[in-house]
Structure 1
Amino acid sequence: MNAEIQELSPVLVELKVEIPWDRVKTSLDQSFDQVSKRARVKGFRPGKVPPHLVRQLYAKQVRGEVAAQLVEQSFFEAVQQHQLAVVAEPHVQTDEVKDGEPLKFTARVEVRPKIEKVNTKDLEAKHHAHPVTDEQVNQEVEELRMKHSEVSVPDPMRPAKGNDELTIDYTVKVDGVDKPEMAATDRVVDLGSGALIPAFEEGLTGASPGDTKTIEVTFEDDHQSEDLRGKKAEFAVTVKSLRERILPELDDEFAKDVGDYATLLELRMKIREGLQKVADQHSDAALRESLIDSLIEKNPIEVPPSLVMQEERRAVYEYAAYMGMTGQLEQLSEALHGTMHARAERKVKAALLLAAVAREQKIEITDADVDARLLKMSEQTGKHIAKIKAEYAGERRAIVENNVLEEKLMDYLKSVAKLREVSAEEAHAHEHDHGDHSHDHG
């Protein structure tokens, strides 16, 4: 077999293959022999049809089957011969099988790009620490107070104020047009919870049961409903009932009531510890994305379109499943194509470059690494280690392996990159550029 290769791009090659006639003839003879054993031709017993008649009657079928079989075999032989990392099905054009001539075919196929050397010495990344503030701790404490509060009807009745719970009915007009689908009956709202549009909450403050008020609001430009963004609305509200929320005193007894804490100070320390853990995880995730951005910037590579398409489809499906919209995949795919395509391309580039870094730096994972991670998961979740190992046995063990490998890769990139501390504003702007933070390594 002769297989010539032409690189059309870093991710697309063309193979021109010739299969010698003697190999083609051998396959044809074997196939015709098999057909003759089961051929049924009027006037002849099964298996007794003359060979020349079998070849005449079944020529097109056998030649087509033999050509397909030989092309498939020879394609994979050519791939192995040229050590190609194929990532998609080939596009094949095959010549007709002609007696005495080699069988020729051409195959175009996408391949992983060859990454000879990854530039890691020029990496730069942004890092922002997120120290927890007293204000954040106070907010968490207040939310705990709200959860452990009691509600009752004030006596005597008074106008509504912060922390009150109101039951209301309302109808809505948007730009002067009635919106019955937005109307509500017996809706319970909490003043001071931060869940209401500020103008709406301001309009309810000072109202009493039995009052009817007209409250005008302007929806924000980034409102979750695209149809309402920037629109003016008029709410006709009737206040039906008011209950005041009685918050518990903020003392050591409160700390004991909400958990196993001896003092209020101990509760606050535990809250701060939990918030800091989340903040550190957030900072680490942002740093990982900044490292990936720099890795991609310093190592421009072309990626196979098929891998990007696969990743985009996966991302759209996951989003659809999350939103409960799997029945609208086609519409979602069209609507999200621009955003999802860019993210998919970035993710594929990251995966290819990280895999190359792992090979170059001989970054590997061992069974001991995986077992240590499983033990850590057991300690974090409180599940017995045997149960954790059972959950991540077989193919699911690869999930843990990938996580451990990514952590090792990120540790390496952090060690060689120039890290620059940035402001909270700059870090926040950078985080909004990325939606999906996971990476695969192949």
Structure 2
Amino acid sequence: MKATWEKIEKNLGVLEVEVEAERVAAALDKAFQKVVKKVNVPGFRKGKVPRVIFESRFGVESLYQDAIDILLPEVYTEAVDQTDIFPVDRPEVDVEQFAKGQPFKFKAKVTVKPEVKLGDYKGIEVPAADTEVSEEELNEELNRMQERHAELVVIDEEAAQNGDTVVIDFDGSVDGVPFEGGKAERYSLELGSNTFIPGFEEQVVGLATGDFKDVTVTFPETYHAEELASKEAVFKVKVHEIKRKQLPELDDEFAKDVSEFDTLDEYKEDLKKQLQSRKETDNKAERERVVVDQAGENAEVEIPEAMVQGEVNNMVRDFDVRLRAQGMNLDMFLGFSGQTVEDLQEQMKGDAEKRVRNNLVLEQIAKVEKIEVSQEEVEQELEDMAKAYGRSPEEIRNILASNGSLGSLNDDVMIRKTVQFLVDNAKEVPAEKAGKSEEAKPAKKSTKKAAKAEPKADAEEAAVEDKQGEE
């Protein structure tokens, strides 16, 4: 087989392939074996028609498409390996010649992984570690714990406020006609939670126990029930009860209730250690985010749209996996939020583009710096995943293999090692100055929303979570 590659523009090129006539003949044989099982010819049992009779009756050309379908995938893969290119999208194939006794010739227009021109990636400024826990931070955490363990107490003589939970009846209608899902009795609603249609909760604030009110709202244009979208609705509301959070006292009894400690002082000391550990984790994550983002911004790379869309699809799939782990799914989420899949994809596009860019840059840095991954490191990754998911390493290996994600383990370990390389070669500065190396080029301006910097989505983690959800 002969294969040549010619770049025609940016990340697009033409792969020209010629396959020997002998392989064409073998593909025609396989195509005949497939087709003959479905052919009825008088005087012959199904599947037993001789090749010469078949070709005289139907023509050898009737086998061409099946033969191409058999041969093309394998020779395309061989041609990609032979020319050492990295396709990132389905090729546009143009068959130039396919006939019995002749070579198979085709051209494929292929979008390939882009070239990356690295900028500065050493000496990037990162925030100095700050793991001290202030008294104010400790008190804020104690207040959050108070809120978490607060009791709801019935309020009889005061009006409802934001943060209160009201127990209500409501009965909604549009143009005087009730609609499905618009009625409930003794429904508990936390005011300010924004779980109801915009404008509803605000109109309940100020009502007292026993009050009645007609609440008028307008459904959003993107509401999931199309027959209600943009419609004005009136809800007849009755308040049965108002409940308000009552915070527990911060004393030794509180410490005993929420922890393993007997005194508030002991609990505060442990809480301080937890906050310190959290700050260390956050600081590490922030350093990684800064070096990856800055190295990405300093590099030059033109990203094919196909790579961005592919990452968007991965992100939607991972989002669905995580929703199902919480007892939901993507369809339910879209119904509740009034969005479409296209809306969700558009929201994810900025993050997807940044992920693709950063990962391309990290891969190039790993190549330049000769960062490699040992088999021992891959095995350790399997061990760590096994502990995280309560499985054996062999189970994790089998799950990843069945989902086609096993090969990405090596890539993910390499990406993490590369990120650590950037952190190790960074320059520590006060937090407000972090984010740029001394000679770094100015960050490119963008009209897109700022995206969270995340090295590539962990396909193997999503695969394991997906399996966990199925079980």
TM-score w.r.t. the length of structure 1 is 0.67
Residue 8 of structure 1: SS of its match in structure 2? strand
- Asked if 2 retains the 8 angstrom alpha-carbon contact of 1:93 and 1:107, the reply is yes
Residue 354 of structure 2: SS of its match in structure 1? helix
Task: Give the whole-Å Cα distance in 1 for the aligned partners of 2:191 and 2:31.
Answer: 84
Task: Give the whole-Å Cα distance in 2 for the aligned partners of 1:167 and 1:48.
Answer: 79
Once the two structures are TM-superposed, the CA of residue 76 in structure 1 deviates from its matched residue by 3.7
CA-based RMSD of the aligned residues comes to 5.7
Once the two structures are TM-superposed, the CA of residue 412 in structure 1 deviates from its matched residue by 0.6
Once the two structures are TM-superposed, the CA of residue 145 in structure 1 deviates from its matched residue by 3.8
Task: Give the whole-Å Cα distance in 2 for the aligned partners of 1:163 and 1:32.
Answer: 76
**Residue identity in the other structure for 1:407:** R
- Asked if 1 retains the 8 angstrom alpha-carbon contact of 2:7 and 2:13, the reply is yes
2:93: which partner in 1? 92
Which residue among 295, 319, 330 is the counterpart of 1:325? 330
Residue 340 of structure 2: SS of its match in structure 1? helix
2:374: which partner in 1? 366
Structure 2 counterparts to residues 141-290 of structure 1, below 5 A? 141-146=142-147, 148=149, 159=158, 167-169=166-168, 185-188=185-188, 203=206, 209-210=209-210, 212=211, 240-241=240-241, 247-290=247-290
Task: Give the whole-Å Cα distance in 1 for the aligned partners of 2:159 and 2:343.
Answer: 44
1:134: which partner in 2? 135
Instruction: Find out whether 1:412 has 2:421 as its counterpart.
Output: yes
Instruction: Find out whether 1:340 has 2:348 as its counterpart.
Output: yes
Once the two structures are TM-superposed, the CA of residue 433 in structure 1 deviates from its matched residue by 1.7
Once the two structures are TM-superposed, the CA of residue 7 in structure 1 deviates from its matched residue by 0.4
Once the two structures are TM-superposed, the CA of residue 244 in structure 1 deviates from its matched residue by 7.3
Q: CA 1:161–1:109 in 2, change beyond 3 Å: closer, same or farther?
A: closer
Instruction: Find out whether 1:434 has 2:451 as its counterpart.
Output: yes
Q: CA 1:341–1:143 in 2, change beyond 3 Å: closer, same or farther?
A: closer
Q: CA 1:141–1:274 in 2, change beyond 3 Å: closer, same or farther?
A: same
Which residue among 391, 394, 397 is the counterpart of 1:393? 397
**Residue identity in the other structure for 1:326:** D
Instruction: Find out whether 1:106 has 2:116 as its counterpart.
Output: no
- Asked if 2 retains the 8 angstrom alpha-carbon contact of 1:203 and 1:215, the reply is no
CA offsets per residue over residues 84-132 of structure 1, 9 Å max, x none? 22334332212344688654321212222344x6444466455485865
Task: Give the whole-Å Cα distance in 2 for the aligned partners of 1:285 and 1:84.
Answer: 34
Q: CA 1:67–1:276 in 2, change beyond 3 Å: closer, same or farther?
A: same
Instruction: Find out whether 1:310 has 2:313 as its counterpart.
Output: no
Q: CA 1:91–1:273 in 2, change beyond 3 Å: closer, same or farther?
A: same
Structure 2 counterparts to residues 52-63 of structure 1, below 5 A? 56-57=56-57, 58-63=59-64
Once the two structures are TM-superposed, the CA of residue 294 in structure 1 deviates from its matched residue by 1.9
Which residue among 352, 358, 364 is the counterpart of 1:350? 358
Query: Which runs of 5 or more residues in structure 1 are unaligned?
Result: 226-232
Residue 203 of structure 1: SS of its match in structure 2? coil
1:230: which partner in 2? none
CA offsets per residue over residues 381-418 of structure 1, 9 Å max, x none? 9x6xxx45355333547676565444322111112344
Once the two structures are TM-superposed, the CA of residue 307 in structure 1 deviates from its matched residue by 2.9
2:13: which partner in 1? 13
Task: Give the whole-Å Cα distance in 1 for the aligned partners of 2:31 and 2:193.
Answer: 80
Q: CA 1:170–1:435 in 2, change beyond 3 Å: closer, same or farther?
A: farther
Q: Judge which range, 72-81 or 177-186, deviates more.
A: 177-186
Task: Give the whole-Å Cα distance in 1 for the aligned partners of 2:94 and 2:298.
Answer: 38
Q: CA 1:131–1:100 in 2, change beyond 3 Å: closer, same or farther?
A: same
- Asked if 2 retains the 8 angstrom alpha-carbon contact of 1:120 and 1:295, the reply is yes
Task: Give the whole-Å Cα distance in 1 for the aligned partners of 2:73 and 2:424.
Answer: 46
Task: Give the whole-Å Cα distance in 1 for the aligned partners of 2:394 and 2:206.
Answer: 56
2:469: which partner in 1? none
Task: Give the whole-Å Cα distance in 2 for the aligned partners of 1:34 and 1:242.
Answer: 74
Q: CA 1:15–1:182 in 2, change beyond 3 Å: closer, same or farther?
A: same
- Asked if 2 retains the 8 angstrom alpha-carbon contact of 1:171 and 1:179, the reply is no
Once the two structures are TM-superposed, the CA of residue 273 in structure 1 deviates from its matched residue by 2.8
Query: Which runs of 5 or more residues in structure 2 are unaligned?
Result: 225-232, 401-405, 436-445, 460-471
- Asked if 2 retains the 8 angstrom alpha-carbon contact of 1:347 and 1:439, the reply is yes
- Asked if 2 retains the 8 angstrom alpha-carbon contact of 1:18 and 1:102, the reply is yes
**Residue identity in the other structure for 1:254:** F
- Asked if 1 retains the 8 angstrom alpha-carbon contact of 2:146 and 2:247, the reply is yes
Q: How many residues align?
A: 417
Q: CA 1:143–1:97 in 2, change beyond 3 Å: closer, same or farther?
A: closer
**Residue identity in the other structure for 2:112:** V
- Asked if 1 retains the 8 angstrom alpha-carbon contact of 2:121 and 2:294, the reply is no
- Asked if 1 retains the 8 angstrom alpha-carbon contact of 2:31 and 2:67, the reply is no
- Asked if 2 retains the 8 angstrom alpha-carbon contact of 1:92 and 1:105, the reply is yes
Residue 16 of structure 1: SS of its match in structure 2? strand
| Rg larger in structure | 1
- Asked if 1 retains the 8 angstrom alpha-carbon contact of 2:18 and 2:106, the reply is yes
Once the two structures are TM-superposed, the CA of residue 170 in structure 1 deviates from its matched residue by 6.9
2:81: which partner in 1? 80
Once the two structures are TM-superposed, the CA of residue 192 in structure 1 deviates from its matched residue by 11
Once the two structures are TM-superposed, the CA of residue 242 in structure 1 deviates from its matched residue by 5.9
